[in-house]
Chain A
Amino acid sequence: MPKKSIPLLWFSALSIVIGLAVWELCATQFSDFILPSPLSVFAQFLDPNFALRLAKAVSGSLIQLGIGFGLALAVAVPLGTLLGRSDTLYRMFNPTINAIYAIPPVALIPFLIIWFGLFLESRVALVFLMCFFDILVVIIAGSRDVRTSWIDVGRSFGGSRYYCLRHIVFPALTPFLFAALRVGSARAINGMITAELFFAAVNLGQLLKRSSQAFDASAALAVVMTVCLMGLLAQTIIMLLERRLLHWHIRRS
């Protein structure tokens, strides 16, 4: 449908332009300390001094994001598959997992300070906790969703348990794996900036805190925008990967 999607894309672009115009109009009503105009926020990105600090902060923040998110994936995916594939284990532990999932991860921060201190270890731990359960819940739901008839076919053609897991369960799980990546990456980025604000302020969190304490709202908004762009970028990369790898799977959207 390329014919139809071009005007729709224009509408989206138009909507962004209208939004920015409304923002600009509102900004003229308020002082720059409270609501800076979009132009002054964009100007921040062009200021080489600020841009350099921002780039440094982003690269620092990416370290805890990568470690925490990676660890969460490495633990949650196998554990989720196990819990989803075994009915007994699922019934045993799903209520407990739901109860723990119901606790806001931010409330665990005092614990993390007691155990890991205020620096990198605790930031990694918070990123891990923020996305671990979200990934786990999606993977459990996904691996329970694999149709028994598919596995029955594999078994009746003499496939071993391992063979069925490798060639039937894992491929059927990949769409859920991508769903888990999408949810998990958004949560992990959320955890990254939360950690930098609640523990010792470093990287992006420090930049954000300092700018807002100095009432430099345009710098603070520029930091928020950077975090937001990181989120959008992660979602786009995952979407492109999904399209490439999962062309056989039609996503309901």
Chain B
Amino acid sequence: MKKLRNALLPLLGFAIVIAIWEIVGSRLGNSLFAPASSVLVQYIDMLREGTMLNELFTSLRQMLLGFVIACLVGMPMGIAMGRSKITDTMLRPWVSIFVVTSTAALVPILIMILGTGLTLRATVVFLAAVWYIVLTTYNGAKGVSPELLAVGHSFSANRHQIFWKIILPALYPYLITGARIGLIHAIRAMVMAEMFVIVGYGALINQAGMEINTSSLLALLLTLAIISLIANAILSQWGKNLAPWYEQQRQTL
């Protein structure tokens, strides 16, 4: 009974929100806020037509380039900062400066240096995501339980073994969380950069706005929401497979 209730409540919530959307939308009309029904019609049209998905996948590929580089740089950096006091004190001032720097403010300057091509978009995504990945990994690496390390030492594991067999597995949940937070920021940055230089998916959003066509605008936003929810779900499922003990630990706390 309780399970059924818990499964039905989110659906009820969605239904309420969509009902409000429909009522408000039909009052305001297509030029201000398209109702859910006309967005659905538009959405199916846009899926058939294919431009939306094409642009989306091109944009996502470029975003992934920046995001993967951010992971490759951010994760080792976070681990180094978390495990070594000197690296921590040397790098932390820079990380705390860059993490509060708005990427949008950097875009005009980056355009001067990099132009408006692929490099710009990948760099913007990188800069938006990397600091969050560093900080999450850093917090995890700092919190690796000394007891685990002591067990390793007493079984006379060498530095190499301690890193690969103890520290790294203990960090899996944090690496995944860092990647999730980083990905949210990467997608935000991708859209921001594309709307700034008016290319790709961002250009589609801009165009829908210019034409005051809120049903296609909402359809484009819906796709973005779906994509980031799917990416998030994949990463968290991956995290559960990689570190099955973590979820249990959290539940018993």
Residues of chain B with a CB closer than 8 A to A117's CB: none
Residues of chain A with a CB closer than 8 A to B101's CB: 224, 227-228, 231
Number of interface residues of B (CB under 8 A): 60
Q: Is there contact, CB below 8 Å, between A35 and B113?
A: yes
| Contacts A33-B112, A103-B221, A104-B192 given; does A223 touch B105 at CB 8 Å | yes
Q: Is there contact, CB below 8 Å, between B217 and A235?
A: no
B1 within 8 A of A: no
Q: Is there contact, CB below 8 Å, between A15 and B221?
A: no
- Chain A's nearest CB lies how many Å from the CB of B27? 14
Residues of chain B with a CB closer than 8 A to A106's CB: 104, 188, 191-192, 195
The answer, among B111, B184, B209, for a CB contact under 8 Å with A212, is: B111
- Chain A's nearest CB lies how many Å from the CB of B165? 26
- Chain A's nearest CB lies how many Å from the CB of B227? 8
- Chain A's nearest CB lies how many Å from the CB of B78? 14
- Which residues 57-86 of A have a CB within 8 angstroms of B? none
Closest to A4 in B: B85
A21 within 8 A of B: no
Q: Is there contact, CB below 8 Å, between B205 and A92?
A: no
Q: State the majority secondary structure of interface residues on A.
A: helix
- Which residues 179-232 of A have a CB within 8 angstroms of B? 186, 189-190, 193-194, 197-198, 208-209, 212, 215, 217, 220-221, 223-224, 227-228, 231-232
| Stretch with Cβ within 8 A of A (4 or more), from B6-14, B49-57, B64-72, B240-248 | B6-14
| Contacts A92-B12, A106-B191, A114-B31 given; does A197 touch B107 at CB 8 Å | yes
A189 to B104 CA separation, bound complex (whole angstroms): 11
Q: Is there contact, CB below 8 Å, between A11 and B86?
A: yes
The answer, among B96, B104, B195, B225, for a CB contact under 8 Å with A102, is: B225
B148 within 8 A of A: no
A95 within 8 A of B: yes
Q: Is there contact, CB below 8 Å, between B9 and A92?
A: yes
Residues of chain B with a CB closer than 8 A to A105's CB: 188
B102 within 8 A of A: yes
- Which residues 159-197 of B have a CB within 8 angstroms of A? 184, 187-188, 190-192, 195-196
A64 to B93 CA separation, bound complex (whole angstroms): 28
B109 within 8 A of A: yes
- Chain A's nearest CB lies how many Å from the CB of B144? 14
Residues of chain A with a CB closer than 8 A to B12's CB: 92
Q: Is there contact, CB below 8 Å, between A16 and B96?
A: no
| Contacts A15-B91, A220-B108 given; does A107 touch B221 at CB 8 Å | yes
- Which residues 82-127 of A have a CB within 8 angstroms of B? 88, 91-96, 98-100, 102-111, 113-115
The answer, among A34, A96, A234, for a CB contact under 8 Å with B14, is: A96
Residues of chain B with a CB closer than 8 A to A232's CB: 96-97, 100
A94 to B224 CA separation, bound complex (whole angstroms): 18
- Chain A's nearest CB lies how many Å from the CB of B202? 8
A232 to B101 CA separation, bound complex (whole angstroms): 9
A99 to B12 CA separation, bound complex (whole angstroms): 15
| Contacts A15-B89, A102-B184, A215-B112 given; does A91 touch B224 at CB 8 Å | no
A101 to B242 CA separation, bound complex (whole angstroms): 26
- Chain A's nearest CB lies how many Å from the CB of B235? 13
A220 to B110 CA separation, bound complex (whole angstroms): 11
B214 within 8 A of A: yes
The answer, among B10, B93, B190, B214, for a CB contact under 8 Å with A95, is: B10
Residues of chain B with a CB closer than 8 A to A49's CB: none
B92 within 8 A of A: yes
Most A CB contacts (10 A, CB to CB) among B6, B9, B31, B212 go to B9
Interface string of B202-220 (1 = CB under 8 A from A): 1001101110101001001
Closest to A18 in B: B90
Residues of chain B with a CB closer than 8 A to A35's CB: 113
The residues of B with any CB-CB pair to A shorter than 8 Å are: 6, 9-10, 12-14, 16-17, 31-32, 85-86, 89-94, 96-97, 99-109, 111-113, 139, 143, 184, 187-188, 190-192, 195-196, 202, 205-206, 208-210, 212, 214, 217, 220-221, 224-225, 228-229, 232
Across the A-B interface, give the 7 residue pairs with the lowest CB-CB distance, nearest first: A110-B209, A231-B100, A92-B13, A102-B228, A11-B89, A91-B9, A190-B102
Further 4 A-B residue pairs, CB within 8 A, beyond A102-B225, A103-B228: A91-B10, A194-B102, A212-B112, A235-B96
